[in-house]
């Protein structure tokens, strides 16, 4: 029988694979993980060809919202972003329009020298 002084063996942590959809709920993640998760999610969303995504960060005191929106402000993959309308989460979510045209062009040019942009229709502020 093991005594109270015996260390408990650590259980290996298996990575959790998220399905890449147009909504990412950040509630299950630790606050320190949020920016890393959003960064990886934006890459995966672009690879999947998503034009618009919704990041659900919750309302709370607005700390995660501010951190995420500061990151988005300087991210070359992001065409635009703003708080979600009330029916889609309001202050508890941020809508993000991805710059798939720029990313697709850069990726294609890097591969074969010929740009092949994939524009996203309906991006706010364009027309």
Given a contact cutoff of 8 angstroms between Cβ atoms, the answer to whether 96 and 55 are in contact is yes
Render pLDDT for 17-47 as a digit per residue (tens, 0 to 9).
Answer: 667 899 999 999 999 999 999 999 999 999 9
Given a contact cutoff of 8 angstroms between Cβ atoms, the answer to whether 96 and 72 are in contact is yes
Instruction: Judge whether 5 lies within some domain.
Output: no
Render pLDDT for 71-113 as a digit per residue (tens, 0 to 9).
Answer: 999 999 999 999 999 999 999 999 999 998 765 555 554 455 5
Domain count, the chain: 1
Any idea which residue has 């015996």 for tokens? 6
Q: What is the pTM of this model?
A: 0.72
pLDDT band at residue 114 under the 50/70/90 scheme: very low
Instruction: Judge whether 122 lies within some domain.
Output: no
Instruction: Judge whether 121 lies within some domain.
Output: no
Q: Give the pairing of strands 93-98 and 52-56.
A: antiparallel
CATH code, 37: 3.30.1370.110
Residue 108: which domain range?
23-112
Q: Does 124 have pLDDT greater than 60?
A: no
Instruction: Judge whether 88 lies within some domain.
Output: yes
> Which strand ranges, in their side-by-side order, compose the sheet holding 78-83?
23-25, 52-56, 93-98, 78-83
């Amino acid at each position: 029988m093991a005594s109270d002084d015996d260390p408990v063996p650590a259980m290996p942590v298996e990575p959790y694979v998220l399905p890449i959809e147009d909504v990412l709920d950040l509630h299950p993640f630790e606050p320190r993980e949020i920016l890393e998760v959003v960064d990886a999610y934006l890459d995966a969303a672009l690879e999947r060809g998503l034009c618009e995504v919704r990041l659900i960060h919750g309302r709370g005191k607005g700390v995660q919202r501010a951190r995420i929106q500061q990151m988005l402000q300087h991210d070359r993959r992001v065409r635009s972003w703003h708080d979600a309308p009330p029916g889609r989460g309001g202050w508890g979510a941020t809508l993000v329009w991805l710059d798939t045209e720029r990313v697709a062009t850069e990726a294609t040019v890097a591969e074969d020298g010929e740009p092949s942009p994939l524009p996203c229709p309906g991006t706010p502020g364009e027309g």
